[in-house]
Amino acid sequence: MPELPEVETVLRGLAPVMAGRAIEWLECRRHDLRFPFPENFAARVRGRRIVTLGRRAKYLVADLDGGDTLLMHLGMSGRFTISGGEIGSYVHSTGGDPKHDHVVFHMEDGTSVTYNDPRRFGFMLLIPGAMFDEHPLMRGLGVEPLGNGFHAGYLAARATGRKADLKAFLLDQRIVAGLGNIYVSEALHRAGISPHRVAACLATAKGHPTERCERLIPAIRTVLEAAIEAGGSTLRDYKQADGALGYFQHQFLVYDRAGEPCLRDGCKGIVRRTIQAGRSTFHCPSCQR
């Protein structure tokens, strides 16, 4: 379930049991996910305290005492479940087949946090202290879409001369870090811009923001904020209905709505599904220009 709002939701769920707490021991049940786990992963994490738990783009970032940083990515299907302890008794994530429970953090207070990931596109890495910003996965990341660095001037400057579709441009984590397939479609719909335009349409010949660009910024911000507010989106997980599941999927205006009416007030368009960069795009040809 992981674009920025989902990762942010996971972060907020995990912080109460992990931030400031020591990992008594780590149970690692296979040698790799998308990448091999760090060498001696369990031994290197055992007994370390998580000084801060944060998020960068779609990554969870756990700073451990002693300087190392544990970087975690959920891929497409990664999930955390809290169990045991006071909080675990009422906070749950989506669960999932136990055969895909790959990592368990046993916290000092008896709580355990289990990472489940059927497709194994997620990963965990340990980055030595002080190397974090220079790490190849972090170095090229673009600005946070909810941060101060994300504004029309920035986006226009990056879009200047770019011939890629707007959809692909916004999915590129080197430009904006955290958007994914759902929220790009939703944001472009809210801004009334076609995903098939070239990215350069965000900038004038002189590199200044166009009116479209000015509209896109708040559309991205508001859709992400609304999604975080709703606890993210939960797809294909309806079985385990419990308080921790997001419900933003009920507010989708275009995503996964091919053939259905556009939900913009007064628009009579029908949502279309197209393929861009090998992935589904949903948009309304009538009100997105």
The backbone region for 110, taken as left when phi is positive above 0, alpha when psi lies in -120 to 50, beta otherwise, is: left
Q: Figure out which of the listed residues 19, 42, 51, 137 binds DNA, where binding follows CB under 7 A.
A: 137
In this complex, which beta carbon is closest to DNA, that of residue 107 or of residue 154? Answer: 154
Q: Tell which positions 191-210 bind DNA, by CB under 7 A.
A: 199
Sole binder of DNA in the list 25, 279, 285, 286 (CB under 7 A): 279
Give yes or no for residue 34 binding DNA (CB under 7 A): yes
Residue 199 near residue 163 (C-beta atoms within 8 A): yes
Q: Does 265 bind DNA (CB under 7 A)?
A: no
Per rule CB under 7 A, is residue 231 in the interface with DNA? no
Nearest CA to 125 out of 138, 112, 109 is that of 138
Task: Please tell me whether residue 232 binds DNA under the rule CB under 7 A.
Answer: yes
For the CB of residue 111, give the shortest distance to DNA in the complex, in Å. 23
* Residues numbered 47-106 forming contacts with DNA, rule: CB under 7 A: 57-58, 73, 75-77, 97, 99-100
Q: List own/partner pairs for 211-218 with CB under 8 A and 24 or more apart.
A: 213/152, 213/155, 213/156, 213/159, 214/152, 215/191, 216/152, 216/155, 216/187, 216/188, 216/191, 217/150, 217/151, 217/152, 217/155
> Measured in whole angstroms, how far is the alpha carbon of residue 33 from the centre of its chain?
18
Nearer to DNA, 106 or 197 (CB): 197
Of 83, 92, 82, 79, the residue nearest 121 (C-alpha): 79
C-alpha R_g of the chain: 20
Is 180 an interacting residue with respect to DNA (CB under 7 A)?
yes
156 binds DNA (CB under 7 A): no
Q: Write out the catalytic residue numbers.
A: 2-3, 58, 279
CB of 209 to DNA, least distance (A): 18
270 binds DNA per the rule CB under 7 A: no
How many residues line the site for DNA (CB under 7 A)? 43
